[in-house]
Structure 1
Amino acid sequence: MTLYFDDLEIGKIERFGRYEVTREEVLAFAGRYDPQPFHLDDEAAAASLFGRLAASGWHTAAITMRLITDHWQAIGLDKASLGGIGMDELRWLRPVYPGDVLSVETELLEKMPSRSKPDRGVIRGRWTTLNQHGEAVMSQISIGMMQRRP
């Protein structure tokens, strides 16, 4: 089954996913993409505002995207996606530590049919990444393009 732009309901909230963050991947991601001491070294992390080794915010964003795309594939939304246009208001709200278990909550905020291309529309949604305690660790507004029902 494919879900199209027309099938999406403004205000709908979904919560899904489970991803356990490991120390090894925190070190590997930071070593490759965000090599700051508080992501790579226990001593430096202990002296930082994080108090211990913390995942890069970009790593949290990448995990979030993985959980989102896995969910879209499971519900058939991926087939109508035409890709992302951008992100607004990206915020890292609290640190993510090795051992944290992340999930995602999405809320569709807005959908706008295209005036120039009637076969598609633009959607805006809030994505909130949560830790195992239900605390928000990251939030962002996603803007994407979707196919309309043929």
Structure 2
Amino acid sequence: MLFFEDIEIGEITRLGSHTFTEAEIVAFARAWDPQPFHLDPLAGARTPFGSLVASGWQTVAIAAKLRAQACAHLHETLRREGKKVPRIGPSPGFRNLRWLRPVRAGDTLTFESEVTAKKGSASRPEWGLVFTHETGLDPAGTLVFELTNCIFVERLEA
């Protein structure tokens, strides 16, 4: 993330790609979402999914991880260039989370973030709120996952 004033609506950031493995799907499910169709391929085969599928929360977690890595990479680049790095605050929440199709072992998703809106914080003038549309696409470009995110970003003008 750049400073609030430098972020442009419509800007798209490719966050990266991730390939889901069976072992990873099962490990995540054991820790966080122990439903049978996330834990066992045979149980998954007996559901409308027809196979083992990743938890939707795993997809969200991977998107968040890739977003944090992309932000850290940008900030490291800014530091190397001798530029000031903005503080990034927490997210006050997200909305419109949709899992549009199951994610299976072997699937690779590419995650992107598009800035859709921004506004200054009324209660904290040193911060602005940046709204993004986060997506996960399969190799054919089909939308698999999406949500609307919001994050606090430091303002230069404060």
TM-score by length of 2: 0.87
Post-superposition Cα deviations, 1:92-137, rounded to whole Å, max 9, x if no partner, equal 1111111111221111111101233321111111100112222211
Structure 1 residues without counterparts, runs of 5 or longer: none
Distance (Å, rounded) in 1 between the aligned partners of 2:28 and 2:123? 41
Give the Å deviation of 1:79.
4.4
- Bigger proportion of residues as strand: 1
Maintained 8 Å contact 1:129/1:139: yes
- 1:103 is matched with which residue? 110
- Which residue of 87, 90, 97 maps to 2:94? 87
- 1:147 is matched with which residue? 154
Maintained 8 Å contact 1:90/1:141: yes
Distance (Å, rounded) in 2 between the aligned partners of 1:147 and 1:13? 19
Structure 2 residues without counterparts, runs of 5 or longer: 79-84
Maintained 8 Å contact 1:120/1:146: yes
Alpha carbon RMSD of aligned pairs, Å? 1.7
TM-score by length of 1: 0.92
Post-superposition Cα deviations, 1:15-54, rounded to whole Å, max 9, x if no partner, equal 2302111111100111111111111111211111111110
Distance (Å, rounded) in 1 between the aligned partners of 2:27 and 2:15? 26
Maintained 8 Å contact 1:92/1:137: yes
Runs of 4+, deviation exceeding 6 Å: none
Tell me the SS of whatever aligns to 1:63.
helix
